[in-house]
Amino acid sequence: MSKHHLVLPLLAAALISLESCGFIVINNPETDETSAMVTSAPDTPAADTTSSVVSSDETTSEPADPRADADEKLTSLHKKSFAGAGFIIASADGGKTIPTDIDDEVSAARLVSYRAVESKYTTKIIPISYTADELYEAARNAVSSGDYLADLLIIPADRLGQFMNGKLLANMNSLPFTDYTGSCYNDSVTSSAMFGSKLLAVSGAANLDFDKLSCVFFDKGLVDEDIYTLVKNGDWTWDKYREIAKEASGGNVYGHGSALSDRDYIDAAALSMGIKYVSNPSGESPTVDYMSTDRGKRLAGGIVETLYGLFYTDSSQLSAGADASDAFSDGRLAVMTGRLSMIPDLADISTDWGLAPMPKYDKSQKEYISPLKSDAPVFSALVNTTDFGNSGLILEALNVSAEGYLSDIYLSDRVNYMLRDDGSIGSLETILSTASLDFTHMFASGFDTLDDATYGAIYNGVTTRNSIDALYRNYQPAADREMAKVRTDR
């Protein structure tokens, strides 16, 4: 039986049972900015806290049901009826977060998830798709004219600086009914979207694009080490990655390669090693300071030397321009960096492969870090959003409704049809739980020198052997001056 026959009828049944309706109703209350990460509205009705009695015969043996758990959490959220009014989300993520068509089990689950939100609030969520450039222009026109565009935006994270400098984005802390400290939000991404006194984007379970997460694939027939044990014990480091690649290299076999561009490969590797280019404390101008301490200098220098060795001195890399996916499928590549989007294409290859998170810098690094592609989607809102209360309600509900459920469907699909072993399952769970995106990749589009002072300096240090210290000193002051000019307190 096709895998679609196993899951889609259940999801379709859930879809049929949910309500959808309505036209657009626009209100325009005034909203003040706030700085608290947990927001609520005054004089709101208390959540229904009535508990049900479960008999002792019913308390055991039932497996966890993430959909039921999400629905239960939805019921505890603030109660309101939109009375059929529509809720528009202007999106530049290709319809990934709020799909209108079912392409696979995950998109079907996303549909179920947001239909549950529609049912709770008696509304119709209306996604309108744009390219990133189209959405920027539409947002500029809407703000300059005072016209309504959408109740929420979904924008590529790497456009955040551009939208901010256009003075288009609201402080997401202005949205009532939201709790960004909740488990349905990604704190690593959300905290990186703070600029001065404003939180300009948030990321949560609803918008996490699994396909954009970085990872490592390895050929179990070419790698002698037990990578799964290394991962489990915290010993999966870039030095170990280099060692494995060198040992496997020889004859027609290459030690390592990447399905990413060299720039993206170096970018993702540096982020996975824990570099933090910018400090962005709430209420203050962000500053580029990753080499302002001895520890920071050692880390940045160590990253450059590790990646230079990997690229140039180890003699184990697949030739530039070669297709890493083809070499891996043919059994000629031991380890390959890529993204989770590659899993379906690797599912049926003859190579016996495994999956691992991106390595750590060293064993002392607290956790693995799985960088998202820089254009991963994030939620934002326009500065002239007509009803921040409604936007906050739906944003919170979308993420609560998705928490646990979407990742469960994604994991089940990959486990049942694509992954080869239990070790890969554990690695995939680690990758999903360590999704990360940094400040510089979000905001560099708004500044001339932020790229050059941060991840551009690491890339140039690796590929040109220019001194990372000199690159930092050349660009850091200009980047700080540019960021200091941005006013986010009004």
The per-residue DSSP string of 170-192 comes to --GGGSTT-BTTSTTB-HHHHHH
% of the chain beyond a pLDDT of 70:
86
Helix runs in 122-151, H state only: 132-145
Residue 320 clears pLDDT 70, i.e. is over it: no
- pLDDT confidence tier of residue 487, bands split at 50, 70 and 90: confident
Residue 178 or residue 56, greater confidence: 178
Greater confidence, 433 or 29? 433
Domain 214-371+447-484 fold is D-Maltodextrin-Binding Protein; domain 2 (3.40.190)
CATH of the domain spanning 3-24+66-210+375-417: 3.40.190.10
Q: Which residue has the tokens 């349905």?
A: 184
Q: Is the pLDDT of residue 303 over 90?
A: yes
The string of pLDDT tens digits covering residues 390-421 is 999 999 999 999 999 999 999 999 999 999 99
User: What pairs with residue 339 in β-bridges?
Assistant: 214
Mean of the per-residue pLDDT values of the chain? 89
Domain boundary assignment for the chain? 3-24+66-210+375-417, 214-371+447-484
**Residue 316 corresponds to which amino acid?**
S
pLDDT at 489: 55
| Digit-coded pLDDT (tens) for 233-286 | 999 999 999 999 999 999 999 999 999 999 999 999 999 999 999 999 888 999
Site of tokens 């959405």: 135
pLDDT beyond 90 at 18:
no
Distance CA 46, CA 39 (A): 15
Going by C-alpha positions, the residue among 264, 237, 260 that lies closest to residue 342 is 260
DSSP state of 64: P
Tell me, what's the pLDDT at 32? 38
Query: Do 214-371+447-484 and 3-24+66-210+375-417 fall under one CATH topology?
Result: yes
Q: What is the pTM of this model?
A: 0.87
Residue 315 exposed, middle or buried by CB count within 10 Å (0-12, 13-18, 19+): exposed
CA-to-CA distance for 40 and 80, rounded, in angstroms?
Answer: 14
Measure the CA dihedral 152/157/162/164, to 10°. 50
Distance CA 64, CA 55 (A): 18
